[in-house]
């Protein structure tokens, strides 16, 4: 990339891509430095060791125990939610089935007398064909 401040100088895609990569790397470095700056130093932790504040901090074992308990509660809630959703889905499926059955039965009722009428018609037509021979 050119060091010129002339804004009319064209920039190639390759130069722009290199600039983006360098910019992202620099931003990542700044973010990492800022995060590290927020962490306690060994000296600060040593000062806390003499104070009662250190006793209030959770141990790894306590954090793992709490994390496990939290995970168990989350899984239990997810399971209950899944059961509720399945029950709701079953209810909607039954309602849809009953509605469809009602619609189909209306059509079936229209044509319920069709087999006897067809039999009567066939008998009449066959009789007239035999008589016509």
pLDDT at residue 87 in the model: 95
Sign of the torsion formed by the C-alpha atoms of 118, 123, 126 and 129: negative
- CA 120 from centroid of its chain's CA atoms: 60
pLDDT at residue 50 in the model: 66
pTM value is 0.40
pLDDT at residue 1 in the model: 46
Sign of the torsion formed by the C-alpha atoms of 56, 61, 64 and 65: negative
pLDDT at residue 83 in the model: 96
14 near 4, Cβ under 8 Å? no
Mind listing the pLDDT tens digit of every residue in the chain (133 residues)? 455 566 677 778 888 888 888 888 887 887 777 777 777 777 777 776 666 666 777 788 888 899 999 999 999 999 999 999 999 999 999 999 999 999 998 888 888 888 888 888 888 888 877 776 6
């Amino acid at each position: 990339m050119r060091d010129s401040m002339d804004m009319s100088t064209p920039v190639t895609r390759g130069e722009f891509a290199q600039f983006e990569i360098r910019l992202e790397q620099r931003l990542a470095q700044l973010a990492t430095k800022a995060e590290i700056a927020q962490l306690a130093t060994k000296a600060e932790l040593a000062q806390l060791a003499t104070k009662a504040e250190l006793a209030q901090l959770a141990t790894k074992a306590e954090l793992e125990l709490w994390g496990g308990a939290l995970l168990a509660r989350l899984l239990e809630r997810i399971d209950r939610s899944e059961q509720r959703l399945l029950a709701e889905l079953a209810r909607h499926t039954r309602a849809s089935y009953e509605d469809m059955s009602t619609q189909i039965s209306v059509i079936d009722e229209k044509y319920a007398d069709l087999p006897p009428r067809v039999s009567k018609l066939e008998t009449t037509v066959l009789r007239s064909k035999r008589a016509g021979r």
